[in-house]
Chains A and B, each alone.
Chain A
Amino acid sequence: MQSEIILAGFGGQGVLLIGKLIALAGMDDNREVTWMPAYGPEMRGGTCNCTVVVGDKKIGSPISKRPHHLIALNLPSLDKFEDEVRPGGIIVTNTSLINRRPKRDDIKLVEVPANAIAIEAGSPRAANMVALGAFAAASGLVTLEGLIDVLDKNLAKNPKLAEINRVAVSRGYELGRAGA
């Protein structure tokens, strides 16, 4: 089974990083993974996205026009990718910045006030981690332990930030599990 996920938000929200963390956790779980950023000419403050594919056999296309899942950290990302998600897929929306619900009723919706929870966790910059945790819980694609493990390995240089991220991803995970 192959899962294709689009992660999208404003430049600076850390969508490339959480995509990389899913890929790393998948790799540690001995699965096939690809991580592909959209690298077109972008404006500062413009949208940013990447595609992560996790599977059990050699991955073909590293990009997807029909992703299984979407993590949208801002409204333009939901507007742009909502229609592409396959029926039955998960859409995680950041309700701190997105003031509408998806129009689709054939998807599994996971709403998280990611910025608000991140501020409680210690830094508004950890909103991406909240969304990541919620997605992990709703999809079961990677485990919370797996994510915390790659977070520790990759952000070991800054223990304070690592702790904030651990809290944020765990809070997101709880919300994702409750909403799933």
Chain B
Amino acid sequence: MEKKLMKGCEAIGEAAICAGARLFFGYPITPQNEIPEYLSSRMPQVGGTFVQAESEVAASNMLYGASGAGKRVITSSSSPGISLMGEALSYMAGAELPAVIVSIMRAGPGLGGILPSQSDYFQATKGGGHGDYRVMVLAPETVQEAVDHTIKAFDYADKYRNPVIILADGILGQMMEPVTFPEPVRPEDLPEKPWATTGAKGRERNIVNSLYLNPDVLEERNWQLVKKYEAMREDVEFDTYHLDDEVDVMIVAYGTVARIARTAVDTMREQGMRVGLFRPVTVYPFPSDALAEAADKAGAVLTSELSTGQMLEDVKAAIAGKRPVEFFGRVGGNLMAPEEIVEQVTALMERQGRSVA
């Protein structure tokens, strides 16, 4: 298969085409502009439609409408833009509509800055919009994984009839790496969606709605949705590096930070330090069971993120006090160097009374 050197954002755009999506609705914001830029020229070439809406609110409601009509749909935005999409996200979760939302995180809060960050982990995994709902969240670390996740996200969205978020930062969006694409799916070959509002001639009307005024009906519906969210656990994904044997410190990191941590692990392994890396690939559902199991073989845990400590809460919940869990974060658009992670691990080992080889 032919390798191409592509930016993360452009590769995500091509992956959406590959997955059979022919509708993109969006609104510009740095650092994800290369996704709409790419699709604005690419969609018309494959008979698709690119719409630059008047706002993120409008774009996300266009997504809601087109998904209700049974089409594979995608939008992308960055932090403040994803906030504006929160309402439609909640409505889509409530109406059980599949959609793919690409969130290329920048530094916040507020308007913040345009540099890479992981400050929207809570926004993606714990809500973003109102109401008691969940969305599946995939966190790629390479451009190839961003491609694979985007294609998978469409399948998961259809499988669970639920929005799926691709959660990445500005590094992944702007970086170029070699990628290959699978054979594209033709939209006409995708499975039928019998629930979609495609015209009711000759059949019962399909209704796409999230309004349930009767509390008993709504309560029943809420518990039904929970069953679906629990079922998503069968698609939990994670990755481990140097965790086959016991380690003094296990680093937990996702996305870009996992890459930086891998470099740090290599350095420390060369020095004889017993250190490994656990990387959640799906951050909702979170790989809690696998992480708890891995922690059993670790002396202590260091969670590292480009935030002030968000995934940290999921890590602590999974490990449930069985091991010390410490945190190292950089924020504001700054990245940690591998050397900083080495320093943090070394200091943690010393605090734990473990010899640093």
B residues neighboring A (CB under 8 Å) = 3, 5, 30-31, 114-115, 170-171, 174-178, 259-264, 266, 333, 335, 337-339
Is B259 within 8 A of A36, CB to CB? no
Partner of B3, one of A27, A34, A35: A27
Is B31 within 8 A of A23, CB to CB? no
Q: Which residues does chain B contribute within 8 Å of A59, judged by CB atoms?
A: 259
Is B260 within 8 A of A35, CB to CB? no
Query: Complex: how many Å from CA A145 to CA B335?
Result: 36
B254 shortest CB reach to chain A, Å: 14
Is B260 within 8 A of A39, CB to CB? no
**Is A69 close to B, CB under 8 A?**
no
Max chain B CB contacts within 10 Å: which of A32, A34, A58? A34
Given A27-B5, A39-B31, A41-B114: A34 and B262 within 8 A (CB)? no
Please name 5 further chain A to chain B contacts, defined as beta carbons within 8 Å, in addition to the given A33-B5, A37-B174, sorted by A numbering: A32-B178, A34-B177, A35-B175, A35-B176, A36-B171
Partner of B176, one of A34, A39, A63, A65: A34
Q: Which residues does chain A contribute within 8 Å of B114, judged by CB atoms?
A: 39-41
Partner of A60, one of B177, B178, B259: B259
Interface string of A46-68 (1 = CB under 8 A from B): 00000000000011111101100
Query: Complex: how many Å from CA A59 to CA B256?
Result: 11
**Range, interface on chain A:** 20 to 34
Is A40 within 8 A of B337, CB to CB? no
A residues neighboring B (CB under 8 Å) = 20, 23-24, 27, 32-37, 39-41, 58-63, 65-66
Max chain B CB contacts within 10 Å: which of A27, A36, A62? A62
| 10 cross-chain pairs, A with B, having the tightest CB-CB distances, nearest first | A60-B263, A35-B176, A60-B262, A61-B260, A65-B337, A36-B175, A60-B259, A27-B178, A61-B263, A39-B174
Q: Which residues does chain A contribute within 8 Å of B261, judged by CB atoms?
A: 60
Partner of A24, one of B5, B30, B115, B335: B5
Q: Which residues does chain B contribute within 8 Å of A65, judged by CB atoms?
A: 337, 339
Q: Which residues does chain B contribute within 8 Å of A23, judged by CB atoms?
A: 5, 176
- Could you list 26 examples of A-B contacts with CB < 8 Å? A20-B5, A23-B176, A27-B5, A33-B177, A33-B178, A34-B175, A34-B176, A36-B174, A39-B30, A39-B31, A39-B114, A40-B114, A40-B115, A41-B114, A60-B260, A60-B261, A60-B263, A60-B264, A60-B266, A61-B259, A61-B338, A62-B175, A62-B177, A65-B337, A65-B339, A66-B339
B306 shortest CB reach to chain A, Å: 13
Given A27-B5, A39-B170, A65-B339: A20 and B176 within 8 A (CB)? yes
Q: Which residues does chain B contribute within 8 Å of A62, judged by CB atoms?
A: 171, 175, 177, 259
Is B338 within 8 A of A60, CB to CB? yes
Query: Complex: how many Å from CA A32 to CA B259?
Result: 14
> Of all chain B residues, which has the CB nearest A30?
B3
A19 shortest CB reach to chain B, Å: 9
Q: Which residues does chain A contribute within 8 Å of B178, judged by CB atoms?
A: 27, 32-33
Q: Which residues does chain A contribute within 8 Å of B30, judged by CB atoms?
A: 39
Q: Which residues does chain B contribute within 8 Å of A61, judged by CB atoms?
A: 259-260, 263, 335, 337-338
Is A35 within 8 A of B266, CB to CB? no
Given A40-B114, A40-B115, A62-B171: A35 and B259 within 8 A (CB)? no
Query: Complex: how many Å from CA A32 to CA B115?
Result: 25
Query: Complex: how many Å from CA A41 to CA B112?
Result: 13
Q: Which residues does chain A contribute within 8 Å of B171, judged by CB atoms?
A: 36, 62-63
A16 shortest CB reach to chain B, Å: 10
